[in-house]
Amino acid sequence: MDKKIIQELIDRYVSVSFDVNKKAESLIKGQIEEDLTVDQHYIIRYIQNSKECTSSELAEAFDVNKSAITAIINRLADRGLIERTRDEKDRRVVYLTLSDKGIDLHHKTQEKVHLLVESFITQFDESEITAFINTYEKLAQILTTMKKEEVGE
């Protein structure tokens, strides 16, 4: 591919990526802000999908310091949204799960996010959105592989 074309595509990607991410985050925040921050929403979603995880797993999944995760987890636990359970064999390991209150809130916020995403995803033909999601998933896999190579895994 020609260098000029590559540069134009890079510029378009950077511009649209920033625009989409900021606007999507703002719209999601507008739907859930009375209940959770966007970061809290994603943490709760991750815990619900994994059923049980550790703070270290969350830090790795979200590519942030464990201290940042600990602060979010503490706030969620203070609100009674998550429960901590120590591993019986290794008391240093703490598993995180959603409480019943956390599960209920997750369902409530997921419904709001679902309706939001549905409102714009239905503006595409099925073939368009399927191709886009397939491409986006491929990009996510490429970035995951690059991140692993960066840290030497």
pLDDT tens by residue, 129-142: 999 999 999 999 99
Let me know how long the chain is.
Answer: 153
| Banded model confidence at residue 35, pLDDT cuts 50, 70, 90 | confident
Structural domain boundaries, residue 104: 3-122
Is residue 59 in a domain? Answer: yes
pLDDT of res. 153: 63
What total number of domains does the chain contain? 1
Is residue 86 in a domain? Answer: yes
Is residue 117 in a domain? Answer: yes
Range 83-114 burial, b when 16+ CB lie within 10 A, else e: beeeeeeeeeeebbbbeeebeebbeebeebbe
Q: Region 75-100: what's the mean pLDDT? A: 93
Is residue 73 in a domain? Answer: yes
The DSSP 8-state label assigned to residue 56 in this structure reads H
